[in-house]
Amino acid sequence: MKRDWRCEDPKQQLVWAAATGETLRVLEGKWKIVIIIQLFAARGPLRFSELERRVEGVNQKMLIQQLRQLEADGIVIRKIYPEVPPKVEYTLSEMGTALGPSIEALIDWAFLRCEASGETDGDEPAREAEH
Amino acid sequence: MKRDWRCEDPKQQLVWAAATGETLRVLEGKWKIVIIIQLFAARGPLRFSELERRVEGVNQKMLIQQLRQLEADGIVIRKIYPEVPPKVEYTLSEMGTALGPSIEALIDWAFLRCEASGETDGDEPAREAEH
DNA sequence: CCGTATCCTTCTAGATACTG
DNA sequence: CAGTATCTAGAAGGATACGG
């Protein structure tokens, strides 16, 4: 089955828009994309402490929270080694790996935005003064 | 310049992860993706009232708010017709249109998830009982 | 090393009523 | 038609301290 999301049927569009909205919600959370990108970049499992170092600015509570949610949503897999000192590794699941093309497209778009705002002016318009 | 986000340089990875995180933030907000998909599907401008009907469940305040943010972030363009009764049309900007591949990839992934959770079992594991 | 438990602040969504 | 204003509840983020 192939999505033809630009089709004419308004009902179908509603279904897909909703489904995609729900799906995107899985990626929301201040640190999730960064975590996922780091896991992609690592090309293999990362320990908790490794992630803590690579995801700059995150604290333990947030990192754990986001990892647990990603795990619950089937994006990452958590593997515990019953050793002392404790060792826990996080990997992308098959579903997580399948995010590759989306991430790549988003990175491309991020670049496009940077270039667009960099060529005409020095800084971004950004969003501010809203109230 | 081409992104090679799976490269070895950890510094670069940090930069891209951060940039992509920032970029994704532009799409966050409960209704933005749905709005964007509807604008794609429409293949042309939509009036405020049209969007209100197509984005099911949204209220005026939220719709306006999300549209204003999308406008501030350069994703949509707002065109006002000085008529009475008032008429305002929203279109995807060039930057918004450039989101096409990302949206498509995300929709593909959304489908993959639906199929994966539908074939093995009836319901999703979902995320719950977190505290 | 890999987490929990508290507590606090800020941010977000939404209901509702009103206006040029 | 296309907004604005106000108010509220709840969620998300984060600092800090403690635990197996």
For B39-44, the CB contacts below 8 A with 24+ separation are B39/B76, B39/B90, B39/B91, B39/B92, B39/B96, B40/A5, B40/A6, B40/B92, B40/B100, B40/B103, B41/A5, B41/A6, B41/A7, B41/A10, B41/A13, B41/A17, B43/A6, B44/B91
At B45-93, the pLDDT tens digits run: 999 999 999 999 999 999 999 999 999 999 999 999 999 999 999 999 9
Q: Cα(first)–Cα(last) distance of chain A, in Å? A: 45
Q: Is the CB of B44 under 7 A from strand D?
A: no
The per-residue pLDDT for A64 is 98
At A71-117, the pLDDT tens digits run: 999 999 999 999 999 999 999 999 999 999 999 999 899 889 888 87
Give me the helices (H) in B1-131, please. Answer: 10-25, 32-42, 48-54, 60-72, 94-97, 100-120
Residue labelled with tokens 């990875």: B13
State both tokens at B90: 């929203």
Q: Kindly identify which residue of chain B lies nearest to residue A23, measuring between CA atoms.
A: B110
| Nearest neighbour of A24 by CB, restricted to B23, B27, B38 | B27
B18 to chain A, any CB pair closer than 8 A? The answer is yes
Mapped onto helix, strand or coil, the DSSP state of residue A68 is helix
Q: pTM here? A: 0.87
Domains annotated on chain A, with CATH: 13-117 (1.10.10.10)
**Bridge partners of A80?**
A88
At A29-55, the pLDDT tens digits run: 999 999 999 999 999 999 999 999 999
The confidence band for A124, taking pLDDT boundaries of 50, 70 and 90, is very low
At B15-35, the pLDDT tens digits run: 777 777 888 889 999 999 999
The C-alpha angle A114, B33, B89, rounded to 5 degrees, equals: 90
Nearest residue for C4, CA–C1': A61
Cβ distance B41 to A6 less than 8 Å, yes or no, reads: yes
Nearest nucleotide relative to A57: CA against C1': D14
Cβ distance A110 to B19 less than 8 Å, yes or no, reads: yes
